[in-house]
């Protein structure tokens, strides 16, 4: 039997812990793993592209535990009442190869993305940053807002999306959260949202080379949390922003970001820093208050490894629904797999059944 964490259990864990605490603890888990960066076997994600989207596998291992995430990205899905991104993941024991946990990662990916964004912003944004523009008000938006408000001290979030219904949805959800110290401002354009912002988060879904942010919108001292560019041919920042002499770019895993991050627009010699170096103190995330910093975040498998391990731990700590699934054969003789077919199947007796 293998531990199983479904959507209902993640919702239960969030209700027990609180979303902000969940994100903060997850950020600490991610940071701890990034600080042992060299312990991990790493690779860019393995992607299968089609004309309508992408399906990816994201593996990572520290030699003791192995994880992978299955994730898709299909922007057209919302027109059919489906999510753009869905995901699940597995955590396994390297010694035996046996899976230990099968978990949903759709909700959890949004939470770990927000956790990683805040983790980077703590090192890269100017001290005292209080205003954030949020361009793209879809599935990531609430998680990013909660994380930056509760964990970084953002006091105003300025919203813009080309889809007014997405902003309507975000405003409703934020109102339900009752965050009295957070001012929510709806803006008529990207330019209006960005004006006066300390931090600009871009989290759009269209898989194309877009120019959500253009050079004239960027002022000295801004921190850009570029979340939406996450596959080849999809970017959000105008290339000239990255060419500014005062720009510092931090990525999660450079070989992957060269393929699918904002820096896919740049030549191979374009200099970036990896987040692990910044977290370890080997390089600053910001050199001065005037510098423009960019976290070119595409999502990396190590973050999902951390998330699965965190889920496994709190699943065991917290009371409530505990589930396992019949994923692996249990044999008296491990060499006799066929014998399993000869054995009489065991029928589980439900609450409304009578024992024979």
**Nearest Cα to 308, choosing from 96, 74, 71?**
71
Tokens of 92: 């396994």
Q: Are 60 and 42 in contact (CB under 8 A)?
A: yes
Q: Under 8 Å CB-to-CB from 84, ≥6 apart: which residues?
A: 73, 74, 75, 77, 78, 138, 139, 205
The helix-helix angle for 106-124 and 141-152 (nearest 10°) equals 40
The Cα–Cα gap between 85 and 205 comes to 9
The Cα–Cα gap between 163 and 153 comes to 27
Q: Are 29 and 307 in contact (CB under 8 A)?
A: yes
Phi–psi pair at 144, nearest 5 degrees: -65, -45
Q: Are 134 and 141 in contact (CB under 8 A)?
A: yes
**Nearest Cα to 142, choosing from 83, 91, 84, 201?**
201
Please, is 45 exposed, middle or buried when counting C-beta atoms within 10 Å of its C-beta (0-12, 13-18, 19+)? buried
Phi–psi pair at 71, nearest 5 degrees: -145, 140
Burial 146-164 (b: 16+ CB within 10 A, else e): bbbbbbbebebbbbbbeee
Q: Where are the beta strands (DSSP E) in the chain?
A: 2-5, 46-49, 54-61, 65-73, 87-93, 99-104, 131-135, 156-160, 183-186, 199-202, 209-213, 223-226, 235-237, 247-251, 273-274, 292-296, 323-325
Query: Of residues 3, 33, 230, 304, which has the active-site annotation?
Result: 230
Q: Are 217 and 244 in contact (CB under 8 A)?
A: no
Residue 230 catalytic? yes
CB atoms within 10 A of CB 315: 21
Catalytic positions: 230
């Amino acid at each position: 039997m293998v531990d199983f964490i479904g959507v209902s259990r993640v919702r239960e864990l969030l209700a027990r812990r609180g979303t902000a605490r969940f994100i903060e603890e997850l950020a600490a888990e991610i940071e701890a793993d990034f600080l042992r960066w060299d312990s991990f076997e790493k690779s860019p994600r393995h992607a299968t592209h089609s004309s309508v989207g992408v399906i990816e596998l994201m593996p990572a291992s520290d030699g003791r535990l192995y994880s992978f995430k299955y994730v898709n990205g299909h922007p057209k899905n919302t027109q059919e009442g489906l999510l753009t991104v869905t995901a699940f993941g597995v955590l396994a024991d390297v010694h035996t190869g046996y899976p230990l946990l099968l978990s949903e990662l759709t909700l959890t990916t949004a939470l770990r993305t927000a956790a990683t964004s805040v983790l980077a912003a703590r090192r890269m944004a100017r001290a005292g940053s209080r205003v954030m523009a949020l361009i793209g008000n879809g599935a990531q938006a609430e998680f990013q807002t909660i994380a930056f408000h509760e964990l970084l001290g953002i006091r105003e979030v300025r919203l813009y999306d080309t889809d007014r219904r997405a902003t309507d949805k975000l405003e409703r959800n934020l109102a339900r959260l009752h965050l009295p110290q957070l001012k929510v401002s709806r803006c008529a354009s990207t330019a209006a949202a960005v004006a006066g912002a300390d931090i600009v988060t871009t989290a759009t879904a269209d898989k194309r080379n877009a120019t959500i942010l253009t050079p004239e919108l960027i002022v000295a001292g801004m921190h850009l949390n570029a979340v939406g560019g996450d596959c080849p041919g999809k970017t959000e920042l105008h290339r000239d922003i990255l060419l500014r002499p005062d720009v510092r770019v931090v990525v999660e895993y450079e070989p992957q970001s060269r393929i699918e991050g904002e820096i896919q627009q740049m030549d191979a010699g374009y200099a970036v820093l990896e987040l692990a170096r910044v977290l370890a103190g080997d390089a600053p995330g910001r050199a001065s208050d005037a510098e423009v910093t960019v976290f070119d975040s595409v999502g990396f498998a190590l973050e999902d490894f951390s998330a699965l391990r965190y889920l496994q731990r709190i699943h065991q700590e917290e009371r409530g629904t505990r589930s396992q699934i019949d994923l692996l054969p249990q044999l008296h003789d491990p060499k006799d797999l066929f014998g399993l077919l000869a054995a009489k199947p065991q029928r589980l007796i439900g609450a409304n059944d009578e024992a024979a």
